[in-house]
Amino acid sequence: MTETYAQVVGVSQVELGTESSPPDLGPDQVEVGITYCGVCATDTHNYTSGGQVPPAVFGHEWTGTVRRIGAEVTAVAVGQRVVAAVGAACGRCAMCLAGHADHCDTAFAEANGVTPDAPAHGGFATALVVSERRVLPVLDGLTDVQAALVEPTAVTFHAVRRTRQPLGAVVVVQGAGPIGLLAAQHARHAGAGRLVVIEPNPERRTAALDLGLTDVFEPGDRVREHLDAITGGLGADVLYECTGVAGLLQSSAELVRRGGTLSLLGFPMTDSRVSYGDWQLRELTVIGSLAYTRADFVGAMRAIADGAVRVDGLHTGTVGLGELAALMDELDSGRTTHAKVLVDPRL
């Protein structure tokens, strides 16, 4: 059977290729027919940089149905819906052997598409062959669109879990793109007492309001005055930085109270300038968060299933593989109204 896939072949260039399905699978391999693959900022950065991330990462937010399984596969069955995930802690890497299973080197390498068995391309494809470790059954009750949004939900679940946000905390979310809106919902689910969202884009502010987030502001004096009013001038207990804009790192930190927590989700593509002395003087706790563990995928699916995190409204469009390059150009322009676009390779 001939499959089609998309790959980056140069700066702002995507090319469609074809390949034949392997006649036989390895004993631990799974072939998945892709239903949807989400487009995220990593994909856009890869597109504009000419392919600087591993090929397996270009299209890493996929869901689909198992077509075939290897002889030793036991975790999934043919016909079962699955999402892209990472394996459980391997128990053999240096981190696991040192007792740091939550930071397993093998699972982290899987998240970054650099394991020896990583596929030659990502989920912008009609089908994909991956290790059994890389798939997780879709929780009953989730739609295909919801399943396609599990991966970014797991990213933000991981960040809020790592931050250990106190119950009743005053929380600020900087940025109301898909990651910010998901992080805000997890923060609310984790017991935030007050939740303030900062976003310059009016459509994204409306999206935040539609999710029931009431304290939504554009950047400026008003939000600072509001934060001062609800904290007695102290500042936020926790701020989730979800924009990845390097120039906002210091100003975001300045919204956090002395002894508070700055949690970093957005990934800047350039160096950041911050005041080390200010952070030290105010004893800020800084939490870095990247990727996820297998448990984060389970928690993310449960949060979607029970309605604590609503993802359907983030889905603003669906395109086929042939429209991917044009979509990337639109997303890179900064003039798009899209939140989360899904690629349906069957179109």
Which of the four pLDDT bands, split at 50, 70 and 90, describes residue 335? Answer: confident
Position 188 scores a pLDDT of 98
What average pLDDT is seen over the chain? Answer: 96
DSSP-H helix ranges across 164-322: 178-189, 202-210, 221-231, 249-253, 276-281, 294-305
pLDDT tens per residue across span 21-46? 999 999 999 999 999 999 999 999 99
Position 337 scores a pLDDT of 84
Closest CA to 251 of 226, 278, 218, 270: 278
Closest CA to 272 of 243, 241, 240, 246: 246
Whether the pLDDT of residue 260 is over 90: the answer is: yes
Position 44 scores a pLDDT of 94
Position 216 scores a pLDDT of 98
Tokens of 240: 């989730």
pLDDT tens per residue across span 211-227? 999 999 999 999 999 99
**Which of 272 and 168 is assigned the larger pLDDT?**
168
Which of the four pLDDT bands, split at 50, 70 and 90, describes residue 270? Answer: confident
Global model pTM greater than 0.85: yes
Q: Report how far apart, in Å, the C-alpha atoms of 223 and of each of 213, 227, 230, 255 are.
A: 14, 6, 11, 10
For residues 315 and 41, give the distance between their C-alpha atoms in angstroms, rounded to a whole number: 15
Domains of the chain are 2-149+311-343 (3.90.180.10), 154-288 (3.40.50.720)
